[in-house]
Amino acid sequence: MSDILTATREELIVLVYDLIDRVHAQETQIAYLKDQLHQKGKNNTPMVKPPAFVKASVQKKKKAPRKKREGSYHRTREVPTQQIFHSFSHCPNCNDRLLGKGSVGYTRTVIELPIVSYQVIEHTVLKHWCINCQKRVMPTVDFSSETLGHGNIGINLASTIVTMRDRLRLPLPVIKTYLKLFYQLDLSIGELTEILHTVAAAGKPQYDNLLEQIRKSDSIHADETGGRAATPPDIRRSVDLIRSILSERLGNSIAQHIRILYGGSVDKSNIQEFLQEGGVQGALVGQMSLHTNEFIALVHRAAMCYG
């Protein structure tokens, strides 16, 4: 039947009887559920298996008491570096003049970064005429704590550039964009490179001194390219120690099948000694892997050790 308004009398009678049957079925189902609910509340006996259309009840788990936090996780209140006061001078309702300083209604802290521009500090050295000496005198100013070398780049600016390049590993174009965006300072890539070279040259004596102390030390606990490489007997002792520790913890059969690699100033001149006399099963190649011909020669000599 497509439409109840256009249905015939016979179709309407069939529909009425069908609805009556459905009503009887629903009433029977409701009576059954009421009886089961009454039985459960009467003697608290377990109910029979409910029909498939009835959703099973799930008992809520008892929540354990919440542990008290040792400290809150909100940000601690910062000490204000600037205060701005907001108040009425006249009443907004009657426009009468307000007297007194007023009391604090509430405060709100805003954390903000200042928009600053770079500074150009000009040091002017004055000279004066001395009557007794019959000449002009002026002070000798030490700018070593103010500028980098003999240029006009300040210590703070140079330190910022070196930190972004050396510690943060930022490319020079990114550093250039950062200085322009946040400080309105426009430095070229060449100027940034010159600053980095100047700082490196200024710190080279200290670096060479530390490097010399390391090379003269009895033991070196670091890999320094170009420094003193280990000898095959040194490597053999280290390999034997590692294997003994592995044997104690994992067993001798497993320890003998673990590959031990050596890394530290490996090149084509010493790779065969390390593999044959040092007792290692491979090497971690560092700087030599950047040079194609040297690396290929190193691989060929290492392959000769394995036939």
User: Which two three-digit tokens encode residue 108?
Assistant: 């709100």
Q: In this predicted structure, what is the pLDDT of residue 42? A: 60
Record the pTM.
Answer: 0.47
Instruction: Tell me the longest C-alpha to C-alpha distance in the chain.
Output: 139
Interatomic CA distance for residues 185 and 192, integer angstroms: 12
Q: Which residues contact 305 (CB under 8 A, 6 or more apart)?
A: 272, 275, 276
Residue 220 has pLDDT above 60, yes or no: no
- Cβ distance 201 to 208 under 8 Å? no
- 194: closest CA among 236, 225, 161? 161
Pairing of β 128-130 and β 135-137: antiparallel
Give 255-295 pLDDT, tens digit per residue.
888 888 888 778 888 888 888 888 888 888 888 888 888 89
| Packing angle of the helix pair 155-162, 189-216 (nearest 10 deg) | 80
* Number of other residues whose CB lies within 10 A of the CB of residue 274: 24
Give 34-71 pLDDT, tens digit per residue.
887 777 666 555 556 666 666 667 777 788 887 777 76
- Cβ distance 171 to 165 under 8 Å? no
Residue 133 has pLDDT above 60, yes or no: yes
- 187: closest CA among 149, 152, 147? 152
Interatomic CA distance for residues 145 and 149, integer angstroms: 10
Give 74-131 pLDDT, tens digit per residue.
778 888 999 998 998 899 999 998 888 888 899 989 988 888 889 999 999 999 999 9
Give 159-210 pLDDT, tens digit per residue.
999 999 988 989 999 999 999 999 999 999 999 999 999 999 988 898 888 8
Interatomic CA distance for residues 307 and 291, integer angstroms: 25
Interatomic CA distance for residues 286 and 261, integer angstroms: 13
